[in-house]
A and B are shown apart, each in its own frame.
Chain A
Amino acid sequence: MKRHLFDTLLILTISLLFTSLLVTVVGASPADAFHHLLNGSFGSWSKFSRVLNVWIPLTLCSLGLLYAFRTGLWNIGVEGQMLLGAIGTAGVMRLGVDSASPLLFLLLALISGALLGALWALLAGWLKTRGGVHEIFAGLGLNFVAMGIILWLIFGPWKRPGIASMSGTEPFPRELWFPTLEGWRVSPFALTLAVTGILFTAWILNHSRFGLKLKAVGHNPRAVPLYGLSAQTYMLIAIVISGALAGLAGGLQVSSIYHRLIPAISSGYGYLGLLVVMLANFKLLPIPFIALFFAALNVGSIQLPMMMQLDSSLSGVIQGACVLSALLVFGLRRLKAGAKS
């Protein structure tokens, strides 16, 4: 426990030092930059609720990835699964315009998003288990295909009347916005969904027999047949859960953030989720916190161009530096352990 704390502090120190150096080199004050980052994310309830709006999909994607990682799979395809989730949700919501029961359509839309995300993941899983295509290549390829589909929809069948543009499809009417409370920018329902996801995943992965089986597949796929398990089946199940959670994240982006389908609907949270999970060293407990930290960086950095003429990609630099220094620290730990034994 003490060592974990030490490692975390070490990782943060390395990445902050690196970022400070970078900011100094471009002629700005690191202290100011961090102040604006902090203020931009935690400065007010309104800002913090924006952070939560990033935290929700990022957490869902990271949770999903964790299932795949448990079986030893690198589900790089989360990004595409999120896009498909957004498409599935937008598709059903289009049908719900002017309907008498918008809430029912919202619910169906989210389910459809999760299903489409799951299906997209299943495709990558099949390519892996049946076709022998490495899941990283399958996932990456499917990401590009998903991007193609979304662009085709926005510029084709679902284009705004008269104009087709990168700004996306016609916004949905207010009745189809995900319900929030007065004065809240974040939907308490979406928040509940994410928290439930965390608790459920904690139970599944750490306490259920199903979670044990996923772990067994990840630890030694050669041995699991002897226990009457099919490694491939469990890999498929894991990647499908992964896709469903990513699809749900995509669906929330449509129904509660953008209220329409845009090309950048995923905001790159799929890839960012991979960084979160790696930084968490593939464990569940740190994920919500790291996701919150990353979300705060994303939201906080929006102010940087206005206040300091710094590009908002600074948040990405910090995130990248964190993950790289984490991998370095973990790697050194392993080397040390290896040298000892």
Chain B
Amino acid sequence: MQIELQQIHKRFGDVHVLQGIDLKVDAGTIHGLVGENGAGKSTLMKILTGYLSRSSGEILIEGRRADYTNPAAAAGLGIGMLYQEPQDFPPLTVLDNFIVGRDSHPDNDRGRQQQRLSELGAQVHFQLNGSSILGSLTVGERQQLEFLRLLGRNARLLILDEPTTGISDRQKERLFTALRLIRDQGRTILLVSHKLEEIAALCDRVTILRHGRVAGEETAPFHIPRLLELMFDQAPESFLQTDRHLPGERLICFENVSASGERTGLKACSCRIYQGEVVGLAGLSGSGQGLFLRLAAALQQPLQGSIRFHDSPLAGQDHRAVRKMGGCFLPANRLEEGLITGFSLVDHFTLARGCSRNDAWTEATAAISRFNIRATPNSPAESLSGGNQQRLLLSLIPETASLVLLENPTRGLDVASAKWVWDYLRGHFRNQGALIFSSAELEEIMAVADRILVFFDGRVVRDLPIDQVDYQDVASAMTGN
């Protein structure tokens, strides 16, 4: 099936996420869609599958306008999506899951359904035991079942979102073989991935998105550095910082730390961070950076290895201990993890400082003018905009903090606010301690950090002083090259 997108725009409030996307995918091809975080890939996929409506633009299927407004209608037109996280029912058996997914073919004869499952499996060389409990299967096997469900529903356009995350190399090979097989049957595949070598191995054509626009289209065979160049902005000409310095004493120290969480966990991470350093954690989202920050804050305990802060081990301690020694953590989900809904600025200061309401009022008033928070001392946290919530969180960091851990600290802030935030953080905390932050934007890390740790799949794959960083090298390390 041939599908064509014409001038797709999507706005969320003031944010213009997709700015006129044109994309044509021919029948019987595998088409890749790549771009860094926030480039607009997910939004575009959600529009294609009917989960989101577009602000403007056209979708043509086989040259005809298709106006569907919900996922069921999209599925009816033959559009199927394989999600990164399997959308299934782990307590049920494989066969039960297969039957649930085929509600357009109501057939309660389990024998016939089992036969259909085996036939579909045989077509693409997947072998699944219908009576196994789904929850006992690997992610790769669950994905295979989902794939078969889509085939069983006669999906003619398959959209795959990061299909190789969390599956074994063998399963990956099988999936790729299956994808080539069904392409040769005439089905159309749209593959969304960060992993450029996979895109290169599989796709006939690739569209690169950047900042909500099409940055380019390439046809196989691909030249990976060319793709990287299109994916990422050029490295900034000059860095903001000029003042290099010698790090002071050891502040926090990871030794062979492994932990579970996020998508990938953290695997055998060792590193030392010194006083006076500003360390940027780079990587595709969910590669272990957030976990690293939460481990350092003792909000989570490692499975293995040890973490020492100011030379005292954090094993068995919670965040209160880190806080007492001058550690501080600002989460990316400001309202979910950082602030308390229904609580005013004064309430937050009362809690954070452990002071009287009068003192908290004075502090809140001072913070409003110093941090330029657009709110009154009595405004509830949830009434603040994202940027103002971040300013409030920043203003709550104790003056004496020696380790400030920040998760995507400038997410959602405009350029001027982001600059203000960094001027404040670097000016204030770098002399008395260290700053560790994660960011989805490599440019930001290059601009403000002294040192970069690059995460891929739960491992630190680069640990470099910023002046020794080769932009292309880091960009490709982030995607596992």
Contact = CB atoms under 8 A, between A and B. Distances in A.
A227 B352 contact: yes
A226 B319 contact: yes
Contacts of A229: 320, 351
Contacts of A228: 319-320, 323-324, 352, 354
Given A212-B350, A212-B351, A219 B343 contact: yes
B236 interface: no
Given A209-B350, A212-B350, A223-B340, 19 more contacts: A209-B351, A212-B347, A212-B351, A216-B340, A216-B343, A219-B340, A220-B339, A220-B340, A220-B341, A222-B336, A223-B336, A223-B338, A224-B340, A225-B299, A226-B319, A228-B319, A228-B320, A228-B324, A228-B352
B318 to A, nearest CB: 7
Contacts of B331: 226
A12 B354 CA distance: 43
Contacts of A226: 319, 329, 331, 337-338
Given A212-B347, A212-B351, A213-B351, A230 B320 contact: yes
Nearest to B321: A228
Interface size class on chain A is 10 to 19
B342 interface: yes
B340 A225 contact: no
Interface string B340-378: 111100010011101010000000000000000000000
- What are the 4 tightest A-B residue pairs by CB atom distance, in nearest-first order? A225-B319, A220-B340, A227-B351, A228-B323
A261 B381 CA distance: 50
A238 B344 CA distance: 22
Contact of A216 (B299, B320, B351): B351
27 contacts: A209-B354, A212-B347, A213-B351, A215-B342, A215-B343, A219-B340, A219-B342, A220-B336, A220-B339, A220-B341, A222-B336, A222-B337, A223-B337, A223-B339, A223-B340, A225-B318, A225-B319, A226-B319, A226-B337, A227-B351, A227-B352, A228-B319, A228-B320, A228-B324, A228-B352, A229-B351, A230-B320
Interface of B: 299, 318-320, 323-324, 329, 331, 336-343, 347, 350-352, 354, 356
Interface centre among A209, A224, A227 (most CB of B within 10 A): A227
A contact face: mostly helix, strand, loop, or mixed: helix
A113 B340 CA distance: 36
A225 B341 CA distance: 15
Interface centre among B319, B337, B338, B340 (most CB of A within 10 A): B340
A320 B379 CA distance: 37
A204 B320 CA distance: 24
Interface in A229-254: 229-230
A49 B350 CA distance: 43
Contacts of B351: 209, 212-213, 216, 227, 229
Interface in A123-142: none
Nearest to A221: B340
A221 to B, nearest CB: 10
A36 to B, nearest CB: 44
Contacts of B320: 225, 228-230
Contacts of A230: 318, 320
A123 B356 CA distance: 33
B327 to A, nearest CB: 10
